[in-house]
Structure 1
Amino acid sequence: MPDIESPDVDASLRAAGLRVTDTRRAVFSALHGAGHIAAEPLFGRVREGLPGTSKQSVYNALGDFVEAGIARRIEPAGLAGLYELRVGDNHHHLVCSACGRVEDVDCVTGEAPCLHPSETRGFAVHTAEVTFWGVCAGCAAPA
């Protein structure tokens, strides 16, 4: 898992078994500090620093990152898929039903899976994804 405080982009990519390219560097750097971001606004950030980048190459890099385990894609109902660099800790998400803001929340038991289904139906469960829906403080504040 990359050090989110001060990522060494090249080392993070190599450690994940990925070839270092300008596009992958730019996508990783744009993801850093972005929290949870959809591909479209991420593409805009990448284009600022690497103007010739195609949308497809950004999507390819994101797919490579998810497959390599250095990024995670979440898909809250009604929102575009979102990408984040926080991986490997089975955390969950808080989503504002008014504005779509997404925040991380740690797993309450600290180990995966932190929930156990009443019936596994033959599955070997390794992960539970939980999304808490509500209204963030900003949207709940009186106007």
Structure 2
Amino acid sequence: MSPLDDTATEELLRTAGLRSTAPRRTVLQVLEDHPHQTAAGVAELLGEAGAGMSRQSLHNVLEDLTRTGVLRSIQPVGSAPRYETKVDDNHHHIVCRECGAVSDVACATGRATCLTPASTPDFAVVEHADITWSGLCVNCAPTTTR
């Protein structure tokens, strides 16, 4: 992915009601470049870039960015939450059940999956559906299935 523009990043944070701090901007850039990371993965990438921060600070940043809709959090079965900057659409995910690799999947057109609930008891607003498929990535699938 391409680097986030500093001005756009600052505007994104301010629009979300957050101060534009160096830790928030750095975490956003890491997740823009490396989507679907766990907190541990983000911490490792920050350390490699010489921008490490305490575990608590990182979790606070991830919580703030997720709570305000700047980040999206998904939690595939058997995985820690994973974070991404792609929040402006209703895409879905496919997860390798062997190595845990995650890829984005665009919404189906034509023969759509169940994206609208049959009923919404006690809910006035329904925002989106989170659909996660599982399978084997090309690196983990046996050569006979390729």
**Alignment match, 2:136:** 135
Select between 80-89 and 13-22 the one with higher mean Cα deviation. 13-22
Per-residue deviation, 1:138: 1.4
Per-residue deviation, 1:136: 1.2
TM-score by length of structure 1 reads 0.83
Q: Secondary structure at the match of 1:127?
A: coil
C-alpha distance in structure 2 between counterparts of 1:75 and 1:96, whole Å: 13
Q: Secondary structure at the match of 1:139?
A: coil
- Go from structure 1 to structure 2 and tell me whether the alpha carbon gap of 1:83 and 1:38 turns closer, same or farther (over 3 Å shift): same
**Alignment match, 1:80:** 80
- Go from structure 1 to structure 2 and tell me whether the alpha carbon gap of 1:29 and 1:126 turns closer, same or farther (over 3 Å shift): closer
Checking the alignment, whether the CA contact within 8 Å between 1:70 and 1:85 is kept in structure 2 is yes
**Alignment match, 2:39:** 39
Per-residue deviation, 1:10: 2.6
TM-score by length of structure 2 reads 0.82
Checking the alignment, whether the CA contact within 8 Å between 2:3 and 2:33 is kept in structure 1 is no
- Go from structure 1 to structure 2 and tell me whether the alpha carbon gap of 1:126 and 1:24 turns closer, same or farther (over 3 Å shift): closer
**Alignment match, 1:121:** 121
- Go from structure 1 to structure 2 and tell me whether the alpha carbon gap of 1:60 and 1:138 turns closer, same or farther (over 3 Å shift): same
C-alpha distance in structure 2 between counterparts of 1:21 and 1:103, whole Å: 29
Paired AA for residue 4 in structure 2: P
- Go from structure 1 to structure 2 and tell me whether the alpha carbon gap of 1:14 and 1:98 turns closer, same or farther (over 3 Å shift): same
Per-residue deviation, 1:109: 4.2
Paired AA for residue 139 in structure 2: G
The alignment status of 1:97 with 2:94, answered yes or no, reads no
Q: Work out the number of aligned pairs and report it.
A: 137
Per-residue deviation, 1:87: 0.3
C-alpha distance in structure 2 between counterparts of 1:116 and 1:23, whole Å: 37
C-alpha distance in structure 2 between counterparts of 1:122 and 1:10, whole Å: 37
Paired AA for residue 129 in structure 2: A
Task: Please identify runs of 4+ aligned residues in structure 1 that moved more than 4 A.
Answer: none
Q: Secondary structure at the match of 1:89?
A: coil
C-alpha distance in structure 2 between counterparts of 1:50 and 1:5, whole Å: 19
Paired-residue identity, %:
42
Select between 72-81 and 24-33 the one with higher mean Cα deviation. 24-33
Q: Secondary structure at the match of 2:133?
A: strand
Per-residue deviation, 1:122: 4.1
Paired AA for residue 20 in structure 1: S
Per-residue deviation, 1:21: 1.5
Per-residue deviation, 1:50: 2.1
Q: Secondary structure at the match of 2:33?
A: coil
The alignment status of 1:54 with 2:51, answered yes or no, reads no
Could you say what the CA RMSD is over the residues aligned between the two structures, in angstroms? 2.3
